[in-house]
Amino acid sequence: MPSIEQALQQACQFGPGCPQRLGDAIRYAVLAPGKRLRPALVLMAAEACGGTHAAAMPGAVAVEMIHAYSLIHDDLPAMDDDDLRRGRPTVHIEFDEATAILAGDALQPLAIAHLCRHVTDPARAAQAVQILATAAGPEHLVGGQADDLAAESGPPPQTDSSDVEGADEQVAASNRIQSNPIESDVELIQRWGGTHRALEFLESIHRRKTGALFAASLDLGAVLSDASDSQRAALAAYAADIGLAFQVVDDLLDHTADETRMGKRVGKDAGRGKLTYPGLMGIDQARVRAAELIESAQQHTTPFGSAAGRLNQLAHYVLQRSH
């Protein structure tokens, strides 16, 4: 959307106190070609609630800044160690690791400052800041990433697979879901003490790591449009389903798509022993799960009528990516 791109470009112009290399790295991350899904969600929520794009645009810019920071840090060698993002070298490859860390550091306060500067009503600005800061904090985005990294080495300490009733049966059931070993990782399921336990933990990761920013995006659009409590609740329910569906589909694409389509390395998650939906459910069942979530998401848009047209279009788009 051109208006989002223009707003992001304007927000990434810095004064003389910002070193040229740091500013270049920030712009490289924020302005990289991408779907702009989260800022688009802010504007879609505003549409659904009868607001304007102009009023919601500060939220769209701020949430994309937080998203860009999270991608910079996720790609670092100490985290997911990726060298390709959105079809280009990651920030620490294009620049260097220290500059990448600093660019991510800078984007967090920059997002908050942007809200404070451009949301003119003080009470609404404070509410928007709280929504975004909470979503980006240790109980949500950062906590989800921490658990995602920890899951590579197996179940958390409190998980005792020997206490899981029917663990062998769950593994056997998983074997029946898919016969192709790429599509269901029996060893991984056994290590976690059964499919149910692993799926439960995986969902808790993604409802924070991915879902929290989806929810914040929609809530920012609602709050900046003076939405009612019932409208915010409906959007929160939509966000819970669409955010998880997006991650299920992303996991599917990591198993089935090529790097040109994805713009990043594929197949790495399974190779590192990460929990993924296809690895636990098989590809066919993961597609079924995504479809169920999309159907549920669309039901939550009913109260908005035709104003939710783009939210429903987005749901179709997310599902289409899985095939």
pLDDT of residue 273: 64
pLDDT of residue 321: 79
Q: Are 247 and 316 spatial neighbours (Cβ–Cβ below 8 Å)?
A: no
Residues 174-197: what's their mean pLDDT? 61
Question: Per-residue pLDDT for 184 more than 70?
Answer: no
Question: Per-residue pLDDT for 161 more than 70?
Answer: no
Q: What is the band of 172 on the pLDDT scale with cuts at 50, 70, 90? A: very low
pLDDT of residue 310: 94
Q: Can you give the residue range of the structural domain that contains 78?
A: 2-320
Residues 221-234: what's their mean pLDDT? 97
29-42 tens-digit pLDDT: 999 998 899 999 99
Average pLDDT, the chain: 87
- Return d(Cα 261, Cα 250) in angstroms, integer: 12
Please state, as a whole number, how many other Cβ atoms lie within 10 Å of the Cβ of residue 132: 26
pLDDT of residue 168: 43
Pairing between β-strand 84-85 and β-strand 88-89 as defined by DSSP bridges: antiparallel
SS (H, E, C) the chain: CHHHHHHHHHHCCCCCCCCHHHHHHHHHHHCCCCCCHHHHHHHHHHHHCCCCHHHHHHHHHHHHHHHHHHHHHHCCCCCCCCCEECCEECHHHHCCHHHHHHHHHHHHHHHHHHHHHHCCCHHHHHHHHHHHHHHCCCCCHHHHHHHHHHHHHCCCCCCCHHHCCCHHHHHHHHHHHCCCCCCCCHHHHHHCCCHHHHHHHHHHHHHHHCHHHHHHHHHHHHHCCCCCHHHHHHHHHHHHHHHHHHHHHHHHHHHHCCHHHHCCCCCHHHHCCCCCHHHHHCHHHHHHHHHHHHHHHHHCCHHHHHHHHHHHHHHHHHHHCCC
- Return d(Cα 321, Cα 314) in angstroms, integer: 11
57-75 tens-digit pLDDT: 999 999 999 999 999 999 9
Q: What is the band of 186 on the pLDDT scale with cuts at 50, 70, 90? A: confident
Task: Please state which of the ranges 179-188, 189-198, 251-260, 291-300 shows the lowest mean pLDDT.
Answer: 179-188
pLDDT of residue 173: 39
Task: Please state which of the ranges 12-26, 109-123, 139-153, 263-277 shows the lowest mean pLDDT.
Answer: 263-277
Q: What is the band of 179 on the pLDDT scale with cuts at 50, 70, 90? A: very low
Q: Give percent above pLDDT 90 in the chain.
A: 67
Which CATH number does the domain housing residue 150 bear?
1.10.600.10
- Return d(Cα 320, Cα 323) in angstroms, integer: 6
pLDDT of residue 269: 60
Q: Give percent above pLDDT 70 in the chain.
A: 84
Question: Per-residue pLDDT for 82 more than 50?
Answer: yes
Cα separations in angstroms, 143 against 124, 136, 192:
26, 9, 20
How many distinct structural domains can be found in the chain?
Answer: 1
Using only the alpha carbons of the chain, give its radius of gyration. 20
Q: Are 166 and 194 spatial neighbours (Cβ–Cβ below 8 Å)?
A: yes
Q: Which two tokens stand for residue 322?
A: 């899985």
Residues 204-217: what's their mean pLDDT? 93
pLDDT of residue 149: 87
pLDDT of residue 136: 96
pLDDT of residue 197: 86
- Return d(Cα 219, Cα 288) in angstroms, integer: 28
Tell me whether residue 64 is exposed, middle or buried, using C-beta atoms within 10 angstroms of its C-beta: 0 to 12, 13 to 18, 19 or more: buried
pLDDT of residue 266: 57
Task: Please state which of the ranges 271-275, 289-293, 305-309 shows the lowest mean pLDDT.
Answer: 271-275
